Amino acid sequence: MPKYIFKRILAGMPIVVVVGILVFFIIHLIPGNPVEVMLGSDATPEDVQILTKKMGLDQPIMVQFGKWSLSALRGDLGNSIYYNSPVVNVLAEKMEPTIIIIVYAMVVAVLIGIPVGVVSAVKRNELPDRLCMGITMLGMSTPAFLLGLLLIMIFSLSLGMFPSVGYRGIEEVGLLKAVFVYLTLPSMTLGLQRAASIARVTRSAMLDVLGENYIRTARAKGLKEYRVIMLHALQNAMAPILTQIGFSIAQLAAGAVVIETIFNIAGIGQVAYFALLRRDYPLIQGYILGIAVIYVAINTAVDILYKFFDPRADIG
């Protein structure tokens, strides 16, 4: 297994490299000068020229890319133009709410998505199936920003159960209050959307498995129905569900940009959004490169879990 993990990490490195190259050049194609954004409209051309030269932005793009690549290989993603601080430090300071939102949303998505998919498959073409698939279709087609605003209107403005915006850290208010008071609505917004897609994949995978001979054999042996469903059918249907869960985690990391902006949460998603507006090139590159690394790590973890649920799986 350690050998396999090492091989998977090596196989994922080209993906990170390609993402890094694409991000660097695409970011620099965006119109706008970060120096002019920093200095404001009152800056003179001389001021802009001096700061541009000081930051090395007057050098050819390939020279800038070479310097950034060599620094990134050493783990140095450069300094944020706006924060005037190392990118790694900025992302580390802001990651607390983002990590909690992603984990919380994933728990919501799995706890809702898998049971709904199982019920829908077992009750195929009956009222529960049609009801579940109708709700999941609605969930998948509703934009995250609209769902977030609806939850704010219902649970914050009407019922007063949660604050509508903002976040107070764990050190300030404690773990439980930080998670369940300030981050429930953002996490539910992201999680409900992903639950819809997980439910549909679960239903499809379960329908394939429920038609297999070993399921009929298990029923013929007199096993109770819930044991047939949970131990025989669901376990053998987990491979595509795990794939969808891994894909969902990457999407949650990207969706945090929208959610943290809507709920005014100072996480790395919101930092990335404002970095894009400020043309803070090093910070944007660091954020997207971090997402790519997480994506590779999650895919490796999902492949390992295949072996856990199906010992016959060849992951070597």
Encode pLDDT of 10-42 as tens digits: 777 888 888 888 888 888 787 777 777 777 777
User: Given pLDDT bands bounded at 50, 70 and 90, which one contains residue 313?
Assistant: low
> CB neighbours of 97 closer than 8 A, spacing ≥ 6?
167, 169, 182, 183, 260, 265, 266, 267
Residue 301's pLDDT is 80
Residue 203's closest CA among 166, 172, 233?
233
Residue 186's pLDDT is 92
Distance CA 13, CA 191 (A): 29
Q: Is 79 helix (H, G, I), strand (E, B) or coil?
A: strand
Residue 104's pLDDT is 93
- Enter the tokens of residue 148: 């977030």
Residue 37's pLDDT is 72
Residue 58's pLDDT is 81
User: Given pLDDT bands bounded at 50, 70 and 90, which one contains residue 206?
Assistant: very high
- Enter the tokens of residue 116: 């709904």
- Enter the tokens of residue 249: 């985690």
For residue 109, how far is the Cα from the chain centroid?
A: 12
Q: Is residue 91 scored above 70 in pLDDT?
A: yes
Contact, 91 vs 100, CB < 8 A? no
> CB neighbours of 314 closer than 8 A, spacing ≥ 6?
none
Segment 244-269 shows an average pLDDT of: 84
Pairwise pLDDT comparison (164 vs 30), residue with the higher score: 164
Q: Is the pTM of this model over 0.75?
A: yes
Q: What percent of the chain has pLDDT over 70?
A: 96
Residue 144's closest CA among 303, 261, 15, 54?
261
User: Given pLDDT bands bounded at 50, 70 and 90, which one contains residue 61?
Assistant: confident
- Tens-place pLDDT, residues 77-89: 888 888 888 988 9
- Enter the tokens of residue 269: 């998603």
Q: Is residue 316 scored above 60 in pLDDT?
A: no
Contact, 33 vs 48, CB < 8 A? yes
Q: What percent of the chain has pLDDT over 90?
A: 18
Distance CA 56, CA 71 (A): 14
Distance CA 165, CA 152 (A): 8
User: Given pLDDT bands bounded at 50, 70 and 90, which one contains residue 187?
Assistant: very high
Sign of CA dihedral 34, 63, 22, 294: negative
Residue 47's closest CA among 56, 132, 38?
38
